[in-house]
Amino acid sequence: MLRIARPSQARSSQRSLLSFVTATCLLSASVIPAVAAPTAQATHATQASVATQASNTTQSAPVAYNRFIITYTDEAKNAASTDATADQIDWSAAAGTQQATWSDALYAGITSEVQSIDELLNIKTSYVRSTALDASVVTTSAELTPAQAQQYMDALSANSKVASVSPDMRRYATVDNTSETVKINDPKMNRMWSLTGEKGISALEAWGTTRGKGVTVAVLDSGITAHPDLDANVLPGYDFIAESAFSNDGNGRDSDPTDAGNWTVDNQCFTGSKATASDWHGTHVAGTIAAIANNNEGIAGVAPEAKIVPVRVLGACGGFDSDITDGIIWAAGGSVRGVPANQNPAQVINMSIGSEGTCTTPYRQAIAQANKRGSIVVVAAGNNNFDASKSSPGNCEDVINVGATDKNGKRSYFSNYGSRVDVSAPGGDRRYWGGGILSTLNAGKTAPGKADYAEYQGTSMAAPHVAGIVALMKSVDPKLTYAQAKKALQSTSQGVECDQSACGSGIVNAARAVQQVRSDREAVDAAAAEVARKKAEEEAARKKAEEEAARKKAEEAARKKAEEDAKRQQAPAPKVTPAPKVTPAPKARTRPSRPVTRPSYPSRPRHGHTPRYRSWYGGASANTYPSSTYPNNGYLNNGYLGFATGNHR
């Protein structure tokens, strides 16, 4: 399926592969703004701020604006279409001598805002015309600075009928003229029509913006051979061919992705198959993507500063889906049992691989994982000259499927076609002199020999052109998704001499695609910055409100305190009522804890004592009380009359 430049490398048409190799390419065109412009988007409740950019032209135009486009809400347009007709509108003041239409009535609804901003900026706004979108084109009598333009657009956007206001800028169907003049000293660049020719991809024009630095491209193919025009851009890869019978390197899976050659012997692939030489297909594909530029060696790739991760999945007789799908997952940074993790996950995966069939579940799952991890998968549409929907994995969803074009911008005669082709890229046609795709190769017939160059043709050659462009786009916007990449490629592609059903959206254009991605990225960044600005303003306003509320609260508290203090100073001193005198409670007496000592009496009765005392003297001691304990001592029973003071008061 590959057409080889050197007759010595021509191979038998009878060769059949489990998976055949094809390649295709995609690029899209874009227009470049002459000057950077502020933009304003407004809804009933929201206005976007101006986002200014630097000039993209060689001679930068002054950053000033005097033409604007005003769009209106659906509600406003519906009302105008119902209530107004050309015969009913007097536009002599605003439209001058132009005949007004019903859509021009929309402008009448914002004249008060126009007059107000005109007076503020000391200008006069003149109505120019309406557009097919029922928008109004206006011009100002003087050029406005970016700040004034923002003020102008904000004022007009304040009207609830206005959906958006933006500058009416000049745009040119050219690439970025500020790009540096690219000089290439690689001696074979004169044969690189796919990069530089009229029907090529305009790669050199994109190099003034980016050359793919920081992006890794995984090449799922036959592996890679040493080459001075490629080695510096090659990172560690892996050999996913599990069966040694087809690996030609004597073993199964290992960490050496070197292409041992995919040569075969008679009957190796199937009964009746013929012997074939090695084609070094993976080296050719890798060179188209990232051959080194300006090294006085051979050629240059589409993204000469990108890095290649070689993933060997094709050996003798092709490659198995089981190996290929594992390779997809690993290349994107996923985990494969028994295989060390990929230290350089790929942002782009190129698969110049295919055969007739449907997209199987393993392919769908592997591709889904790759996309989830941020890898964009580019696939060759196939070389069978039939509907591309019949060739897998190009017919899988969520891949960029690439068809091939020749030096004249026509579909290559072998390229698959149909609605499943997303874009096209140079794949060559060796029927014409110099019509193939020149890239890095190896001179060995079976095992690797010396480094070499050769022309091939096929959708296998087209796909790496697109993969290289996606690498350039990823370098500009690392967050670029599959959907965004596909949209940018298709929207910037240039026409080919076949309809869209055959060639997709056209031939990809690297310069325009890169510019489109850069513009989209700047718009996203500007929108994010605006959101952040508004959030910061809201937060500042909230804090200011809180501080103001706290200040007012403190002032109110101070005012109340001052009023209370003043009232206290004016009021008479309160009469002091003396505290009532407290009489202490009488001190309670306690009984003695010791016995009361009896008074001493004379040893004999005194003169005058009555006989009643004689019984007291009884046999007791004359000077002490009875030994019985007080009070139950029998004093009373013995006639004691209470001489002791401790008993009664």
Q: Indicate which residues carry an active-site annotation.
A: 221, 281, 460
CB–CB of 353/393 below 8 Å? Answer: yes
Work out the angle between the directed axes of helices 459-476 and 281-290 (0-180°, nearest 10): 40
Tokens of 269: 């692939």
Tokens of 474: 């990823």
**Distances from the Cα of 294 to the Cαs of 216, 226, 231, 299, 301, in angstroms?**
20, 19, 14, 9, 11
Residue among 484, 486, 332 nearest 421 (CA): 486
Q: What is the DSSP letter of 505?
A: T
**Distances from the Cα of 283 to the Cαs of 91, 148, 153, 287, 322, in angstroms?**
69, 56, 55, 6, 22
Helices (H), 427-494: 459-476, 482-491
How far is the C-alpha of 236 from the C-alpha of 121, rounded, in Å? 62
How far is the C-alpha of 454 from the C-alpha of 333, rounded, in Å? 32
- φ, ψ of residue 67 to 5 degrees: the values are -130, 140
CB–CB of 398/376 below 8 Å? Answer: no
How far is the C-alpha of 631 from the C-alpha of 618, rounded, in Å? 20
How far is the C-alpha of 406 from the C-alpha of 424, rounded, in Å? 10
How far is the C-alpha of 156 from the C-alpha of 41, rounded, in Å? 11
Tokens of 226: 């040493």
Residue among 289, 369, 356, 290 nearest 327 (CA): 369
Residue among 385, 387, 313 nearest 351 (CA): 313
The radius of gyration of the chain's CA atoms, rounded to the nearest angstrom, is: 50
How far is the C-alpha of 22 from the C-alpha of 24, rounded, in Å? 7
* CB atoms near residue 197 (< 10 Å): 14
Residue among 184, 209, 165 nearest 30 (CA): 209
Residue 63 Cα to chain centre, angstroms = 30
